[in-house]
A and B are shown apart, each in its own frame.
Chain A
């Protein structure tokens, strides 16, 4: 099975180790993994800001880059959602429409791919006794319905996921929103942080959300440990 790993720019920039860990997990699960260099940006920032011409070009570039892969796997819910849910509509009136549709059904968020497609789970008890809190990116939660997959993976390893009042609320990142509406964005992150249960770390499969929550926690001087899901799963499977 040929899997193309699409780390996404945010993972590359801030969670390069998580990208490596995602590759390790996919290989451990039995996939043959490549990282096509031409895959740069999924087009989401341009799309959500309203610049559709640029977004169309970026998606088209992805379609080309992934032409040979059986599956495309992304350690980022929002980028997975861009390829899976938004790209087909965006590309509908272009020459690339059929290829974008085909790419959409082959594209998966990492947890969904591990849990539902390739059927890999971490060893039982590898995370026993760990008290975690999980944040789902909004696109993973509402567009992809990927929350269950991520939680199943952690629970399979025996981790305890603590309940969180603001669990399903947006962290305020929203791509360009974070820089266009910085005060509101920070207030949204505060709402998440202020209701956080006492967990040893916050886990998410979305680098954008991790960046936002860690960044805001840092600015407020809160000691918050954040971890990308891929890194924690690798630790569970490989030992720390």
Chain B
């Protein structure tokens, strides 16, 4: 992993803004809509109490993670679920490979899962000669377009309807300028055959309830429900942080996810999976596998300043409200998780060397912390990553020098006040093209002082 190239957020973002301005428009429109719906939906409940409860519960889980994971394993096993443990992505994919071989799988349908994106499941399956179908509409669109998701809950958020209509016209033969219903119908018709012939369904999990050994999933389209019930085998990839103590906790958490994510009271479908088909049941998979994946999480858990990031319930609210994310969508982050939470998780899970620039992609405006249903202090964590990056010598060229020079000036009040006074005056105007200010004046005028440079002393 350390050999992967640095994620150059700045260049990626500039490229998107320059080459595909429609992305900015599509993302701003959709996220503003989600954000407004969230606000209205929080308005219907005792928001403070609910968020405090959820934040407390998630911290309690993180403090007792091992206990709940062992309990979950025991209950899942008792329910007839086979439980596997994966240290990293490679491990997880190796386990998947053995399952593919054991169950003679040739075709897979997938429900939306960020963890499977994180570990690169689709490429691995294709490498094994297995056909993979994403079944969430957004995921299906970007799979057909050979793209990655651009948002935790809305993978195709960067695409406009017109864009998708054009794509489907070429790839699926829909009518020109088909409306969203027609596009969804075309995808559904294509996926129906895949559902009926798939040997394995792969999903993630929103939560696993430790007391009952239940995998819980919430969605809007019903594709997860079909993926987990029609194929012979169901495999759920679960991040180790996703466990919750009691099945009853889901009564609070699942509606909270939906409200925070899209402003719904609850997603259209909730699946509670507690094992394979029993002898007296006509439907359901013959085998259910849960693969608990660590992939850097236990190391993050031990980090006193950043471990809280694992409380995240992947609602995407911080992405929706983030003014930086709104300009570009998730692609410039070059990773499964984007936006504020992605920028906090990336250095932990990918390494600071590769991901140091992501925590810089924030003005620290605080909107993310304001909306996070489990009260993760994202701005503080971004600053902590910046401190670690600076200490490790990562940063933009000239940054360390500039800070030190500024500090030097600040310790000399006479010089400092004269110099600041000149920046807005004639000297500053003349310096507009100097290296320090060049980045500023590339996109903005340097205004003059509001007293036209008169000296007041």
Contact = CB atoms under 8 A, between A and B. Distances in A.
A183 B332 CA distance: 13
B87 interface: no
User: Which of B424, B444, B446 lies at the interface centre, i.e. has the most chain A CB atoms within 10 A of its CB?
Assistant: B444
Q: Which secondary structure characterizes the binding site on chain B?
A: helix
B445 A215 contact: yes
B366 A138 contact: yes
Contacts of B450: 14-18, 228, 231
B439 interface: yes
B120 interface: no
A199 B421 CA distance: 30
B378 to A, nearest CB: 12
A203 to B, nearest CB: 13
Contacts of A50: 383, 385-391, 395
B423 A14 contact: yes
Of A16, A168, A169, A189, the most chain B CB neighbours within 10 A belong to A16
Interface in B388-415: 388-391, 395-396, 399-400, 403-404, 406-407, 409-411, 413-414
Which of A13, A61, A174, A231 gathers most chain B CB within 10 Å? A13
Interface in A185-240: 185-189, 191, 211-212, 214-216, 218-219, 228, 231
A156 interface: no
Given A13-B424, A186-B444, A51 B417 contact: no
A139 interface: yes
Interface in B305-346: 323-324, 326-328
A68 interface: no
Contact of B447 (A49, A179, A187, A215): A215
B420 interface: yes
B40 to A, nearest CB: 15
Contact of A54 (B327, B360, B407, B422): B407
Interface stretch (A26-34, A35-43, A91-99, A119-127): A35-43
B162 interface: no
23 contacts: A12-B421, A14-B450, A15-B450, A16-B424, A17-B451, A37-B414, A39-B413, A40-B409, A50-B385, A50-B387, A50-B388, A50-B395, A54-B406, A57-B407, A61-B410, A142-B365, A174-B362, A176-B399, A180-B10, A181-B9, A181-B10, A214-B445, A219-B444
Interface of A: 9, 12-18, 20, 37-41, 45-52, 54, 57-58, 61, 138-139, 141-143, 168-170, 172-189, 191, 211-212, 214-216, 218-219, 228, 231
Interface of B: 9-10, 13-14, 17-18, 24, 28, 323-324, 326-328, 360-367, 369-370, 383, 385-391, 395-396, 399-400, 403-404, 406-407, 409-411, 413-414, 416-417, 420-424, 428, 436, 439-440, 442-451, 456
